[in-house]
Amino acid sequence: MSPKRKLLSPVSVKILGLKTPQNPAEIFFKNHPGNDFTYPNVEKSPENEENGVKKAGIRSLTRVEDKSLNDVNDYIPSFNIKSELRNYSDTQEKREISSKSSVAPKKKKDRVIISERKNSKKNPIGFEQEERDVEDDINNNIDLDEEVMKVIEREDIERKEAERPPPINSSYLPLPWKGRLGYACLNTYLRYSYPSIFASRACRISSIIEHRHPLTKPNEAKHATRNRPDKSKTPTVESGQRYVEALCLANVHDVPKMLRWNHKYGIKFMRLSSEMFPFASHAEYGYKLAPFASEALAEVGRVTVELGHRVSTHPGQFTQLGSPREEVIASAIRDLEYHDELLSLLKLPRQQNADAVMILHMGGTFGDKAATIERFRENYKNLSESIKQRLVLENDDVSWSVHDLLPICEDLNIPLCLDFHHHNINFSSNHLREGTLDIVSLFPRIKATWTRKSIRQKMHYSEPCADAVTPRQRRKHNARPNTLPPCPDDMDLMIEARDKEQAVFELMRIYKLPGWDSFNNVIPYYRSDDNRPLPKKAKKKKSHKQTLGEIDEFGKNGEGEGEVKVDNLRKIVLEPEVGMGGKDNRVYWPPGYSKPYWTKECTRLVKEARKARRRWTKEGTEESWIAYNIAINKKKSQIKKDKLIGWRAGVTEATNDPKKIWKLAKWARRDPEEKRRPPQILDIMYALGNVHTLNIDKA
């Protein structure tokens, strides 16, 4: 598997220990002092073993004659490269490798130069650089293992991808915009409300089985720790089903709130989450949505019709009608039937019902595209007419390009959903160039697949991350796209980005699309549109004088009639207004603030805590328990630190005099007497004010 005439980058050199200008033998012996090695032409003695090579009269680990590094292996004992790779600090070195190899080298100098030793007293370790055949040098010194070969291959791919021609994009912008922009499944602003509003609550099969047992205290409400299912009692399937149905109804009841939120801020297109009904299409634990969810879904449909919105679904990547495995086909058909039932129970009018489509990928090629297409044709014939009416195919970024799917869609009368991001990664280079310019020539044929079924056309758009080079790296979506594709201006465009509705807001602000002035900046971050509990105040020890005063007024017990002390008072937000942005509509997070003052360090520590918990659950040892507690404490400390930084940053942004306003805000936050607070401080406390309208100079 060794490459033919391959040049290693500096990263590969570092992994192999071939750091230049040092000799690899010098590095190896430096890292392994005092080992029992045998050197040619050197008499082995206890003195030499103890003091090393210098006392043996050897100044360098090369022969007296000048030799290339091909001969260094005569002086290096055999060792295993795998064990040497492990000796490096694994996580740190791998991070360094991945971070360096994520950007392809731009200069031709980033190569391994096999060098020769120089006879120079001024520079005893100098080198004359000379390109050599790396394959021979590596075979003479060490054997590459699979891990090193993967690094080499990855760097070759990155170098090749970096040299590819730049994309040719169209300069057309669909302005003025008359269509609808949408996002998929989750509203990030509502998700961080209190209580959270989202439609993708999920569970595990083990939880369903556990909840088949009755509660420990059947007459009391369920509690996460105090009142859980009692596994000693007889289980029933109905109990487990009731648990799943309650979870499903909680998901469905939040969808109308999400639709009304979208309508308030000019978004009229949304993809419904496939996780709204967990395991509904499972072979053993699956269930029908009717009758338990019929009324709740009908309410979603009524709100959709009232607001004039469009909804759609997107079954997962495992739903493949072209698979050679019968069990996969059976699961795919069950999943499509579940999505069709979900959309049918919305009871939408004719046109809105037709527009409620199911987007599907063709899936894998399984080694033969022609055979996969034939299997898809056969399985498509067996689908119900309702599913056929809703089914839409989408090009992907791995196997199936637009040119692969368009003939199938035209033949079977299936609409084709164009994904621009997937097309830029996976396209037919014989017909098109990378970019959005050449694909415009196929727009009439793509649109015809929609008009034949009287369905309003939709497309998908997203962008890769800025530093992505290889196809694998480019598959990852950017948090927010920065431009619009050259689609028709009356298109329904689904923005597939990690920031969801915030990505739609970003495009609305950039191009002044309809609704761009309906929302305001949420920074400085402070929620005034939910019922989030205030932090508890630390109790201060009362002075002797205060204690005597209370005894004189209320008696020794400290109880006064008709006297109620109110602390941390906050206005209760009614349920319809929870998460709606408050009176100032502060719902837009600037780029980088997708989570309020949540840093990458927080994310890393949360993942470590989860990993430590899984290890403790699996092993149950005292060591794993201690490691789990350490990880939890680190996570809590970092989150607390970031929240404090966020609070101070918010106050700083709210005024030109941060020291003064910080002292006032700190005092006002503790003072229960609202009437004693200055008006400007009230704005900061309940919404941290609007930076543009807050007049601090008059304070």
Is the pLDDT at 191 greater than 50, yes or no? yes
| One domain, residues 75 and 187 | no
Is residue 4 within 8 Å of residue 131, measured between CB atoms?
no
* Predicted local confidence at residue 163, as pLDDT: 73
**What is the DSSP secondary-structure string of 534-564?**
PPPPPPPPPPHHHHHHHHHHHTTTT--TT--
* Predicted local confidence at residue 642, as pLDDT: 80
* Predicted local confidence at residue 601, as pLDDT: 86
**Within 10 A of 124 (CB to CB), how many other CB atoms are there?**
11
Token pair belonging to 270: 């949304």
The pLDDT of 514-536, averaged and rounded, is 82
| One domain, residues 60 and 188 | no
Question: What is the residue-averaged pLDDT of the chain?
Answer: 76
Residue 170 lies in a domain: no
* Predicted local confidence at residue 483, as pLDDT: 94
The pLDDT of 449-461, averaged and rounded, is 97
pLDDT digits (tens, 9 = 90+) for 43-82: 444 444 444 444 334 343 333 334 343 443 343 334 344 4
The pLDDT of 565-589, averaged and rounded, is 79
- Per cent of the chain over pLDDT 90 is 47
More confident position, 451 or 431: 451
Residue 136 lies in a domain: yes
The amino acid sitting at 163 is E
| One domain, residues 331 and 377 | yes
Residue 5 lies in a domain: no
Give me the CATH number covering residue 359. 3.20.20.150
| One domain, residues 501 and 597 | no
pLDDT digits (tens, 9 = 90+) for 389-412: 999 999 999 999 999 999 999 999
Confidence tier at 144 by pLDDT (50, 70, 90) = low
| One domain, residues 66 and 102 | yes
Pairing of strands 127-129, 115-117: antiparallel
| One domain, residues 69 and 97 | yes
Residue 244 lies in a domain: no
| One domain, residues 26 and 71 | yes
Is the pLDDT at 282 greater than 90, yes or no? yes
Confidence tier at 648 by pLDDT (50, 70, 90) = low
Is the pLDDT at 684 greater than 80, yes or no? no
Residue 372 lies in a domain: yes
Confidence tier at 469 by pLDDT (50, 70, 90) = confident
How many domains is the chain partitioned into structurally? 3
**What is the DSSP secondary-structure string of 587-605?**
EEPPTT-SSTT--HHHHHH
The pLDDT of 466-473, averaged and rounded, is 79
Confidence tier at 544 by pLDDT (50, 70, 90) = low
* Predicted local confidence at residue 618, as pLDDT: 85
Is the pLDDT at 110 greater than 80, yes or no? no
More confident position, 516 or 134: 516
Residue 503 lies in a domain: yes
**Own/partner pairs for 451-455, CB < 8 Å, 24+ apart?**
452/413, 453/354, 453/389, 453/413, 453/415, 454/351, 454/354, 455/354, 455/355, 455/357, 455/415
* Predicted local confidence at residue 125, as pLDDT: 38
Is the pLDDT at 612 greater than 70, yes or no? yes
* Predicted local confidence at residue 650, as pLDDT: 55
Task: Classify residue 325 by burial, with Cβ atoms within 10 Å: 0-12, 13-18, 19+.
Answer: exposed
The pLDDT of 357-366, averaged and rounded, is 95
| One domain, residues 363 and 485 | yes
| One domain, residues 271 and 375 | yes
| One domain, residues 196 and 147 | no
Is residue 286 within 8 Å of residue 329, measured between CB atoms?
no
* Predicted local confidence at residue 100, as pLDDT: 40
Residue 328 lies in a domain: yes
Please give the DSSP secondary-structure letter assigned to residue 133: -
Cα(278)–Cα(540) distance, integer angstroms: 48
* Predicted local confidence at residue 135, as pLDDT: 46
More confident position, 456 or 70: 456
| One domain, residues 137 and 197 | no
More confident position, 445 or 526: 445
Q: What domain range is 650 assigned to?
A: 593-699
The pLDDT of 438-449, averaged and rounded, is 96
pTM: 0.67
Residue 552 lies in a domain: no
| One domain, residues 134 and 184 | no
* Predicted local confidence at residue 23, as pLDDT: 46
Token pair belonging to 228: 């859980």
The pLDDT of 236-261, averaged and rounded, is 96
